[in-house]
C-alpha cells in the first residue's frame, strides 16, 4: 500500500444506473486486470444535502444494521465543525480525509487552469439509533440544505471491531 499512490472516489448515483456505471468505470480504468484497483457499490440508508438523493434514515427495519457509517463531505477546513456537531449528539470519534471536488458547477478557472475545490470527508461509525440525530445536527450546523454546502449520507455496516462507546 505504501509503494503507490491510491485514490478513492465517492459518488452518489441512482440505483438504476449502478450496473452501467460499474461497466463504464471498469472499462475506462481497466479494473478487470489484476492490481489496478477495486470498484464497489453500496446502498445508502440515508442521504441529506443532495438535491437529487434526499432520503430520511429509517431506524427500524428487518435487516437494519446495528451500526452505520456516516459520511459527510464538506468544504476544506469544515471537518472539525462536522465532528463538533456530531459529538453534540453522542458520536465519539471521527476520521477526516482530505479530497477534492469534481462537480462541474464547483470547478473554477485561474489563469486558464482548472481549480477544483478542496474537500474534507468525515467518517463516523455510529450506532443506528444515533444516525438520525447526528446527521440532523450535522445538517443544521453545516447548513446542508443550501446547494453546494455539502452532503451527509449513511451506509449500513455489517461488523464493527475496536469502537469505543463509553469514554
Claim to verify: residue 55 and residue 33 sit in the same structural domain: no
* Domain ranges, residue 142: 42-157
The answer on 23 and 86 residing in a single domain is: no
Query: How many domains does the chain divide into?
Result: 2
Confidence of residue 33 (pLDDT cuts 50, 70, 90): confident
Q: Say if residue 70 is in the same domain as residue 139.
A: yes
What is the pLDDT, as a whole number, of residue 96? 93
Q: What is the pLDDT of residues 1-14, one digit of tens each?
A: 455 666 777 888 88
Are both 57 and 134 inside the same structural domain?
Answer: yes
Mean pLDDT of the chain: 82
Please check whether residues 100 and 145 belong to one and the same domain: yes
Q: What is the mean pLDDT of residues 102-119?
A: 60
7 inside domain:
yes
| Same-domain check for residues 140 and 116 | yes
Residue 164 lies in a domain: no
Q: In this predicted structure, what is the pLDDT of residue 1?
A: 45
Q: What is the pLDDT of residue 92?
A: 85
Residue 87 resides in a domain: yes
Q: Residue 56's domain is classified under what CATH number? A: 3.30.70.120
**Residue 162 within a domain:** no
> Which among 142, 44, 34 has a CA at the least distance from the CA of 85?
142
Query: Is 146 inside a domain boundary?
Result: yes
Whole-prediction pTM: 0.77
Per DSSP, what are the bridge partners of residue 153?
A: 47, 71
| Residues 35 and 51: beta-carbon distance below 8 Å | no
CA–CA dist 39, 20 (Å, integer)? 13
Q: Which residue has the higher pLDDT, 56 or 61?
A: 56
Domain assignment of residue 143, yes or no? yes
For 69-91, the pLDDT digits (tens) are: 999 999 999 999 999 999 999 89
Cell 430520511, residue? 56
| 88 assigned to some structural domain | yes
Amino acid at each position: 500500500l505504501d509503494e503507490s499512490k491510491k485514490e478513492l472516489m465517492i459518488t452518489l448515483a441512482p440505483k438504476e444506473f449502478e450496473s452501467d456505471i460499474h461497466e463504464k468505470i471498469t472499462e475506462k480504468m481497466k479494473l478487470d486486470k489484476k492490481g489496478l484497483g477495486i470498484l464497489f457499490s453500496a446502498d445508502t440508508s440515508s442521504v441529506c444535502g443532495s438535491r437529487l438523493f434526499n432520503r430520511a434514515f429509517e431506524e427500524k427495519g428487518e435487516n437494519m444494521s446495528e451500526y452505520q457509517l456516516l459520511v459527510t463531505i464538506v468544504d476544506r477546513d469544515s471537518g472539525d465543525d462536522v465532528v463538533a456537531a456530531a459529538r453534540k449528539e453522542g458520536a465519539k470519534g471521527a476520521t477526516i480525509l482530505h479530497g477534492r471536488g469534481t462537480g462541474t458547477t464547483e470547478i473554477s478557472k485561474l489563469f486558464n487552469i482548472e481549480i477544483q475545490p478542496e474537500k474534507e470527508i468525515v467518517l463516523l461509525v455510529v450506532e443506528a439509533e444515533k444516525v438520525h440525530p447526528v446527521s440532523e445536527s450535522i445538517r443544521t450546523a453545516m447548513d446542508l440544505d443550501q446547494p453546494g454546502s455539502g452532503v451527509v449520507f449513511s451506509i449500513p455496516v455489517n461488523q464493527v471491531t475496536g469502537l469505543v462507546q463509553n469514554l
